Structure 1
Amino acid sequence: MRRLLLALLLGNLVLAGFSAAALAQVFNPTRFTLGNGLEVVLIEDHRAPIVHHMVWYKVGAADEAPGESGVAHYLEHLMFKGTPNVPSGEFSKIVAREGGRDNAFTSSDYTGYFQTIARDRLELVMRMEADRMYRLSVKEDDAKPELQVVMEERLSRTDNSPRGQFGEQMDAAMYLAHPYGRPIIGWAHEIQRLNLEKAMAFYRMHYAPNNAVLIVAGDVAPGELRALAEKHYGMIPMRPTSPRFRPQEPPQLAARRLTMHDARVTQPSLTRSYLAPSRVAGETRHAVPLSVLAEILSNATGRLHRAMVANDGPAAGAGAYYQSLSVDPSTFTLAASPKPGRKIAEVEAALDGVLEALLKEGITEFELTAAKNVMLADAIYARDSLSGAARTFGVALTAGLSVEQVEAWPQLVRAVTAEQVLEAARHVFDLRRSVTGLLLPKEQS
């Protein structure tokens, strides 16, 4: 409630024009490109002597060759297995000894590596990260055990999780041709066939400065960062990289529906996903209005809560999620679970009723204003997190947006109209381009 009140206050000031200048530059970053094509973004924050250093590669699980699902994630693991200068397993130990922390992540569209550390250790992590960008040297004795680690990760996160397995089935049904339908961690039978040779081929094809973005957030000045970037990354040669060529979706003409039963499920759930444009793919004009719509539907006092949860509604909880930043078409997802003693069919009927009313009547100006206020407040709060700020740019730039487009987010949100939200809803909420999934206990029909 406190967050909502603050957001409403901020939004009223913004809509009155009082804070427009403050919102015009969300992060006010510095951007430059090295001669080898490496894009560099700096988000200055001098409140504490800390830096968050990230390298994002414009490659992910959706760029894998057929039959090699999981190789992008496997390579992420192998990036910690040594170079001629940093022995296997020493990268993270060195960062920890210097008082920092590090990790990595893989998505469908990008792979990222990061360290958070004291500002006077920035050069250390830049030197090590640049080193493994082009000098990765993995021994077979390290590669084979790491493949088993990946298999165990899949077992713990997916195979031992009904919700994880259900999510895989939903994605596979959602995308008829596009590789977004493959799990990021990979299908188990394909992971088993991966090896060091395939991972290193993927590395040589995609890991290069001209296919990467360096993002640093924290207590460092532009001149200092440029000098360090030139010193450690600037000497890495450009190399030809494989262009992103992905099978695209054919027209989706039939609604899909799946039901999964599992004895481990204690809370039934309904999930419905619709194929949706992103900010760079499909009918891109709908992307920002869809972000506003997701807020209208899912906030604490939003439509889904009022119609499905409050009073005698059948749902224990309901929400909506939309990812606007993806290289190719994304999804708009709605999810809900029934209250004890209520049927999943009641929940689905209530959800259908919310969507029917939305498509018939549109949204109110009050709903629009409240959603914008929360989103604009979130843009302000994003300045408080070094990692959050860096991730905002990493996801956007690897998807194909520019720094200027990231900074323009508040203006784009403020410009959305109720009519645009309704138009976007009518474009997306087409059952022919949807998958409805039920995750149920073993004994429930």
Structure 2
Amino acid sequence: HVLEHMMFKGTKRLAVGEFSKTVAALGGRDNAFTSRDYTAYFQQLQAKDLNKVMVLEADRMANLVLSETEFKKEIQVVKEERRYRTDDQAQGKLYEAFMATAFQANPTRYPVIGWMSDLEAMTYKDARKWYDTWYTPQNAVLVVVGDVQPAQVKTMADKTYGKVKPKTLEERKPQVEPRQEGIRRVQVKAPAENPYLIMGFKVPKLNNVLKDRDAYSLAVLSAVLDGYSGARLNRELVQNQKVALQAGASYDMTGRGPSLFYLDGTPAAGQTVESLEKALLAQVKKVANEGVSEAELARVKAQLIASQVYKRDSVFGQAMEIGQNLMIGLEVADIDRMIEQIKTVTTAEVQYAAQTFFDQDQLTVGTLFPLPIDPNKKDAPPKGLSH
């Protein structure tokens, strides 16, 4: 993430900040972000200017200037970003502690932005080493969506990225998470208006698009619980039982690391995180015991599939979806294959998922204990969050 910031600090032929100024002068916009699995750099602009930005990207892939002076300035920006997004955000602090509790050996436990101690100890040489190790065409995916011809894009790529000297990549060694053998709990005390609860079960993820039926069943189960405004958690826990102000469910189906099935919520007035925890688990248990009707399943799958298709409403959304899947080892065609697999999920499979994958020995629970909020605290985003 720090190197992502430094990638805008100039090359042997571009001054600091000139990359973005050049894109803006073309009428475009650019930015970048880092996830647990990859760092993405993107530009949105007219097709006629595609080659110009490919020249820029290839240049900073090969010729980045990493000065100690710029690093010292930018690391302060990153530290301020961390304070704003995590240290000063109660739920952000809880989520960080929650992930570090749920996972012990896998890198999934580490915050993307890094611990503050990491940032304080980091030097420009560390960023340089990461750049020299991983920034090379054979470790990157190029996605272009819009009014372009594939043959022309390939020619441009050959003339730009093709000229970047390849590197010998380090072998990625597997970091296998040991089996969890009991429920784990973590509590964070922080200034907040309300308590908050997050729960995560270690569950299977999608490895084989055509064979891993459990992943699709879990995705549909998540949608049964929280896939639309009238889904079970909102209807039962918020509207009917009034045990929660908000309740949700989600599932990480894809990714390089292990997956969690999340349940979360904010207790209603007069309720506790303990009562909300029981209520959330009871909703999963209800599906395990009673299943779902064909009518509910059809409605849920339609909503889930629609949400996937809506991602394609913009060229940016299409590029993001393609890039995300390619970076975790899937193919472009797998995007449609996954939708087709979701269509075939049965009520029996959803019930089986609820019966099978919610063993409390695989559960991690995080709770936020609210402290008084400082009325004088300012909550404005720091400068530099957008490159």
Whether the TM-score (by the shorter chain) exceeds 0.5 is: yes
Judge conservation of contact 1:179–1:246 (CA < 8 Å) in 2: no
Query: Are residues 1:138 and 2:66 paired?
Result: yes
Residue of 204, 218, 231 corresponding to 1:290: 218
Say which SS state the counterpart of residue 111 (structure 2) adopts: coil
Query: Are residues 1:222 and 2:150 paired?
Result: yes
CA deviation string 1:184-204 (max 9, x = no partner): 101111211111111111111
Q: TM-score, normalised by structure 1?
A: 0.79
Q: Given residue 110 of structure 1, which amino acid in structure 2 is its aligned partner?
A: Y
2:293: which partner in 1? 364
1:351: which partner in 2? 280
Query: Are residues 1:326 and 2:260 paired?
Result: no
1:188: which partner in 2? 116
CA deviation string 1:210-254 (max 9, x = no partner): 111000111212222122112212222322112322421111001
CA deviation string 1:318-347 (max 9, x = no partner): 111112121121111111112223333332
Alignment partners' CA distance in 2, 1:296 and 1:310: 16
Q: Detail structure 1 runs of 4+ shifted over 3 Å in the superposition.
A: none
Alignment partners' CA distance in 1, 2:140 and 2:203: 27
Judge conservation of contact 2:94–2:188 (CA < 8 Å) in 1: yes
Say which SS state the counterpart of residue 218 (structure 1) adopts: coil
Unmatched segments (≥5 aa) in structure 2: 373-387
Question: Superposed, which structure 2 residues align to 1:369-384 within 5 Å?
Answer: 369-384=298-313
Judge conservation of contact 1:307–1:350 (CA < 8 Å) in 2: no
Alignment partners' CA distance in 2, 1:267 and 1:426: 32
Question: Superposed, which structure 2 residues align to 1:145-160 within 5 Å?
Answer: 145-160=73-88
1:280: which partner in 2? 207
Query: Are residues 1:124 and 2:78 paired?
Result: no
Q: Given residue 150 of structure 2, which amino acid in structure 1 is its aligned partner?
A: P
Query: Are residues 1:410 and 2:336 paired?
Result: no
1:197: which partner in 2? 125
Judge conservation of contact 2:93–2:188 (CA < 8 Å) in 1: no
Say which SS state the counterpart of residue 43 (structure 2) adopts: strand
CA deviation string 1:68-88 (max 9, x = no partner): xxxxx1111111111112122
Query: Are residues 1:77 and 2:5 paired?
Result: yes
2:385: which partner in 1? none
Alignment partners' CA distance in 1, 2:164 and 2:13: 15
TM-superposed CA distance for 1:392, in Å, is 0.8
TM-superposed CA distance for 1:395, in Å, is 1.2
Alignment partners' CA distance in 2, 1:157 and 1:348: 26
2:21: which partner in 1? 93
1:166: which partner in 2? 94
TM-superposed CA distance for 1:273, in Å, is 0.8
Corresponding pairs, count:
370
Q: TM-score, normalised by structure 2?
A: 0.91
Alignment partners' CA distance in 2, 1:423 and 1:312: 26
CA deviation string 1:114-144 (max 9, x = no partner): 0111222211111101111122122221112
Judge conservation of contact 1:280–1:399 (CA < 8 Å) in 2: no
Alignment partners' CA distance in 2, 1:324 and 1:380: 17
Say which SS state the counterpart of residue 219 (structure 2) adopts: helix
Alignment partners' CA distance in 2, 1:190 and 1:104: 21
1:102: which partner in 2? 30
Alignment partners' CA distance in 1, 2:36 and 2:86: 16
Query: Are residues 1:430 and 2:363 paired?
Result: no
1:308: which partner in 2? 237
TM-superposed CA distance for 1:288, in Å, is 1.6
Q: From the superposition, tell whether residues 356 and 407 of structure 1 become closer, same or farther in structure 2 (CA, over 3 Å).
A: closer
Judge conservation of contact 1:278–1:327 (CA < 8 Å) in 2: no
Q: Given residue 2 of structure 2, which amino acid in structure 1 is its aligned partner?
A: Y
1:265: which partner in 2? 192
2:329: which partner in 1? 400
CA RMSD of aligned residues (A): 1.8
Alignment partners' CA distance in 2, 1:353 and 1:204: 51
Query: Are residues 1:442 and 2:371 paired?
Result: yes
Alignment partners' CA distance in 2, 1:185 and 1:434: 25
Judge conservation of contact 1:205–1:241 (CA < 8 Å) in 2: yes
Unmatched segments (≥5 aa) in structure 1: 1-72
1:242: which partner in 2? 170
Say which SS state the counterpart of residue 213 (structure 1) adopts: coil
TM-superposed CA distance for 1:386, in Å, is 1.3
TM-superposed CA distance for 1:284, in Å, is 4.0
TM-superposed CA distance for 1:174, in Å, is 0.6
Q: Given residue 134 of structure 1, which amino acid in structure 2 is its aligned partner?
A: A
Alignment partners' CA distance in 2, 1:255 and 1:387: 40
Q: From the superposition, tell whether residues 232 and 163 of structure 1 become closer, same or farther in structure 2 (CA, over 3 Å).
A: same
Q: Given residue 265 of structure 1, which amino acid in structure 2 is its aligned partner?
A: A
Query: Are residues 1:176 and 2:104 paired?
Result: yes
Alignment partners' CA distance in 1, 2:207 and 2:15: 40
TM-superposed CA distance for 1:381, in Å, is 2.3
Judge conservation of contact 2:108–2:258 (CA < 8 Å) in 1: no
Say which SS state the counterpart of residue 180 (structure 1) adopts: helix
1:68: which partner in 2? none
Say which SS state the counterpart of residue 377 (structure 1) adopts: helix
Alignment partners' CA distance in 1, 2:330 and 2:266: 35
Alignment partners' CA distance in 2, 1:168 and 1:174: 10
Q: Given residue 213 of structure 1, which amino acid in structure 2 is its aligned partner?
A: V
Alignment partners' CA distance in 2, 1:434 and 1:317: 21
Alignment partners' CA distance in 2, 1:303 and 1:391: 30
Q: Given residue 320 of structure 2, which amino acid in structure 1 is its aligned partner?
A: R
CA deviation string 1:47-102 (max 9, x = no partner): xxxxxxxxxxxxxxxxxxxxxxxxxx111111111111212221111111221111
